[in-house]
């Protein structure tokens, strides 16, 4: 289950952020799919969690939007992580028209439980 945090500047219009939020679950799922965690195209609650955070008065960022994705490490994700994040960046631009943004993919050793 990827956790996604979108940090954005006050100059980014809310309708664009809504488009990004609508596109991210599917695009992130494609970007991190792997044999250990295949993506069947049917997202369910808890599959992708997205949080939006405005830049604070003390934050410093060279980009108006930064998208950070954390997803559990697997060998197959590790092998081509740069290609995955490059493809996600291109796909998000194509889906939303978003420009001047960065995508950071982190693959920590992790575990997830959602209960029953």
Provide the pLDDT for residue 20: 98
Q: Is 80 exceeded by the pLDDT of residue 65?
A: yes
Helix or strand holding residue 50 (H, E): strand 49-54
The full set of domain ranges for the chain reads: 3-106
Q: Is 80 exceeded by the pLDDT of residue 111?
A: no
Residues 6+ apart with CB under 8 A from 74: 34, 36, 37, 107
Contact indicator for 68, 7 with CB cutoff of 8 Å: yes
What phi, psi does 115 have (nearest 5°)? 80, -160
* CATH of span 3-106: 3.30.429.10
Q: Is 90 exceeded by the pLDDT of residue 115?
A: no
pLDDT tens-digit map of 21-57: 999 999 999 999 999 888 988 998 888 999 999 999 9
Provide the pLDDT for residue 39: 92
Provide the pLDDT for residue 1: 76
Can you count the helices (H) and strands (E) in the chain?
3, 4
Bridge partner list, 23 = none
What mean pLDDT comes out for the span 77-84? 93
- State both tokens at 16: 């664009």
Provide the pLDDT for residue 113: 78
């Amino acid at each position: 289950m990827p956790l996604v945090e979108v940090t954005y500047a006050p100059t980014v219009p809310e309708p664009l952020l809504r488009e990004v939020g609508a596109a991210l679950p599917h695009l992130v799922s494609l970007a991190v799919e792997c044999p250990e965690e295949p993506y069947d195209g049917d997202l369910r609650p808890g599959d992708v969690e997205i949080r939006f955070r405005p830049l604070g008065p003390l934050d410093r960022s060279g980009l108006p939007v930064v998208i950070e994705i954390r997803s559990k490490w697997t060998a197959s994700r590790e092998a081509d992580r740069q290609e995955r994040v490059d493809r996600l960046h291109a796909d998000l631009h194509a889906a939303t028209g978003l420009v001047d943004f960065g995508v950071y993919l982190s693959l920590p050793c992790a575990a997830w439980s959602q209960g029953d």
